[in-house]
Amino acid sequence: MTVSTAQRPAPRSLRRRTLSRARAGGLPYLLVLPVVLVLLTVAGWPLLKIVLLSLQRQDSGKYALFHGGSSSFTGLSNYVDTLTDATFWTVALRTVVFTAVNVALSLVIGMAIAHLLNRVSPWARILLTATLLFAWAVPSTVSTQIYYWLFANQYGVVNYLLDKLPGVHMHGHDWFADPHQGLAVVTLVVVWGAVPLLAISLHAGLTQIPREVIEAARVDGASAWQVFRNVTMPYLRPLVAILATLSIIWDFGVFNQIWFMRNGHPEPGYQTLGIYMYSNGIGSSHYNVGATIGVLMMLGLLAVIVVYIRQLLAIGDAE
């Protein structure tokens, strides 16, 4: 997406004449062919299989799996069972809230740091950016383990430091006894891993906004917030749209951080849809149920981001 208005291409008529559709011919199709082939194989077929699985009921959990036994088609009964299960809705709601909190925090903090990067001296910028990049390079399984260790109830650093504050008694506090607190720690890990990319991307976007426009607004007496709202945001909107979409997709499907924070056995209060799907599906050999939940997850996600996709398509078409 183009944020910069630095270069505007030659008059449209000239462009159209030289790059006629007829001359392009089959070339674009040839170019997209490899991608289409790969995605069809690696994503398309498994997706189809999942949908099929969700419409079937297996005779005997493990037996059919080992001997390729046939499963019977039961139509939408898996979906009915799942959608009438109260636990499913609790988990779904928890996932929505968790996603919203994570995405909001990541974007807000990312935007704030992007502005900060814009504001500081070069040495500070390099220091902060380098730190962010290092944080981004750490795999989620590793960062989860580190945070688990930092928040450990007996030997964790966080409890030790917090306990030093006057009037605060955090000695031996178990952060994971209450799922809300535990999920807060998980949120910390997720946001810690997500902010670097957001901050750096948004910062790059900020640097492309023409200085003069911002200066002009400031001269006109606009406050910092007004500058942000009326000048900066319009430029950044496409970028923010893409980042928000991807953040929603990723945070909705968060698995590693919760799974490893609870050492592979997340309590019911920690279960989001991804975890629920794994525990109830693959983890207990109920592949059909797992497939059903997977399909429902995708449908839910689709409903949410269809708005963003429209926006992105509009941007893409405008070019």
CB nearer other proteins, residue 36 or residue 108: 36
CB nearer other proteins, residue 231 or residue 277: 277
Consecutive H or E run containing 57: strand 56-57
* Minimal distance, residue 128 CB to other proteins, in Å: 5
Identify whether the C-beta of residue 232 lies closer than 8 Å to the C-beta of residue 209: yes
Pure H helices in the chain: 12-18, 21-24, 27-39, 45-54, 61-67, 77-83, 86-119, 122-137, 140-150, 157-164, 179-207, 211-219, 224-227, 233-252, 256-261, 273-280, 287-318
Q: Coil, helix or strand for 19?
A: coil
User: CA 2: distance to chain centroid?
Assistant: 23
CB nearer other proteins, residue 101 or residue 136: 136
* Minimal distance, residue 277 CB to other proteins, in Å: 6
CB nearer other proteins, residue 26 or residue 167: 26
Of 313, 291, 212, 300, which Cα lies nearest the Cα of 253? 300
CB nearer other proteins, residue 164 or residue 166: 164
Identify whether the C-beta of residue 218 lies closer than 8 Å to the C-beta of residue 227: yes
Identify whether the C-beta of residue 106 lies closer than 8 Å to the C-beta of residue 195: yes
* Minimal distance, residue 189 CB to other proteins, in Å: 9
* Minimal distance, residue 107 CB to other proteins, in Å: 13
CA–CA distances in Å: residue 45 to residues 92, 98, 277: 27, 31, 20
CB nearer other proteins, residue 101 or residue 201: 201
User: CA 164: distance to chain centroid?
Assistant: 36
Residue found under tokens 């059919």 = 64
* Minimal distance, residue 236 CB to other proteins, in Å: 9
* Minimal distance, residue 285 CB to other proteins, in Å: 6
Residues in the chain: 319
Angle at 1 between CA 124 and CA 240, to 5 degrees: 55
CB nearer other proteins, residue 84 or residue 121: 121
CB nearer other proteins, residue 101 or residue 242: 242
* Minimal distance, residue 302 CB to other proteins, in Å: 7
Kindly give the pairing relationship between strand 56-57 and strand 72-73.
antiparallel
* Minimal distance, residue 141 CB to other proteins, in Å: 6
For residue 42, which phi and psi values (nearest 5 degrees)? -85, -30
